[in-house]
Amino acid sequence: MERGIDNKTILDRFALDFVKIIEKHCKYIIVSGFVAIAHGRSRGTEDIDMIIERVSRDKFAKLHNDLVKNGFECMQSEDSDVVYEYLINKTSVRYTYKEEFLPEMEIKFAKDEIDDFQLKTRKKLPLTGLDVYFSSIEMNIAFKEEYLRSDKDLEDARHLRIVYKGKINENEINEIKKMIKKVRKK
């Protein structure tokens, strides 16, 4: 007998609701801690990190207005032009459900060739049970081990290495680490 139990977390449902709107307007990827959490790592977080492709001011206004129409609000401003200015100046913005403080979706525009590469090679990761695009497992591991390097990030990378044992392309991780050193660690 099927009981219809929804095993999605609050963060899962938030991500799915948000992505339904975003994907109508632009390419996106979910990155960082939520990738490990979606793969079963138990750790606290109140936000999800998303990179979206750079879009025009007009296209972003349509995206922003669609989010607002569907129950989201931006913590920085209601005005899409103000929000767009944050994004083009390489500052992230945060959206929540209207009149709720958590969870949050932290959005950034793609800022360099690494982000463009991530968007081009985005994947849906079946082990998460979520119909959303993520940056690749190799990209997540490389960023956490080479660039972010906090204890939490290194634990996330270890967790992803365990989950994907035997399926990870180490050569790709090493190439991404070289790219990170060249582009982000100038």
Q: Are 104 and 47 in contact (CB under 8 A)?
A: yes
pLDDT of residue 93: 98
Q: Rounded to an integer, what distance in angstroms lies between the CA atom of residue 9 and that of residue 159?
A: 19
* 93-130: pLDDT as tens digits: 999 999 999 999 999 999 999 999 999 999 999 999 99
pLDDT of residue 6: 66
| Residues present in the chain in total | 186
Q: What angle do CA 21, 92, 46 make, to 5 degrees?
A: 75
**What percent of the chain stands above pLDDT 70?**
96
> Is 139 within the bounds of a domain?
yes
* 4-33: pLDDT as tens digits: 446 789 999 999 999 999 999 999 999 999
> Is 132 within the bounds of a domain?
yes
What confidence tier does 186 reach under pLDDT thresholds 50, 70, 90? low
> Is 4 within the bounds of a domain?
no
What confidence tier does 172 reach under pLDDT thresholds 50, 70, 90? very high
Token pair 């913590």: residue: 75
Residue 111, helix vs strand vs coil: coil
Q: Rounded to an integer, what distance in angstroms lies between the CA atom of residue 118 and that of residue 92?
A: 17
Both tokens of residue 75? Answer: 């913590």
> Is 158 within the bounds of a domain?
yes
- Total domain count, the chain: 1
pLDDT of residue 3: 32
Both tokens of residue 176? Answer: 């991404």
> Is 30 within the bounds of a domain?
yes
Q: Rounded to an integer, what distance in angstroms lies between the CA atom of residue 129 and that of residue 7?
A: 10
The residues with which 106 forms a beta bridge, in sequence order, are 49, 94
> Is 168 within the bounds of a domain?
yes
Residue 159 in this model has a pLDDT that exceeds 60: yes
CATH code of the domain containing 144 = 3.30.460.40
Q: Are 107 and 95 in contact (CB under 8 A)?
A: yes
* 29-86: pLDDT as tens digits: 999 999 999 999 988 778 999 999 999 999 999 999 999 999 999 999 999 999 999 9
Q: What range does the domain containing 70 cover?
A: 11-183
Q: Rounded to an integer, what distance in angstroms lies between the CA atom of residue 106 and that of residue 141?
A: 20
pLDDT of residue 7: 79
Q: Region 163-172: what's the mean pLDDT? A: 97
* 128-157: pLDDT as tens digits: 999 999 999 999 999 999 999 999 999 999
- What is the 8-class DSSP label of residue 1? -
b vs e for 13-36, b when ≥16 Cβ sit within 10 Å of the residue's Cβ?
ebbeebbebbeebbbbbbbbbbbb
CA distances from 108 to 63, 66, 93, 115 (A): 14, 18, 7, 10
> Is 6 within the bounds of a domain?
no
> Is 101 within the bounds of a domain?
yes
Residue 1 in this model has a pLDDT that exceeds 80: no
Q: Rounded to an integer, what distance in angstroms lies between the CA atom of residue 41 and that of residue 19?
A: 22
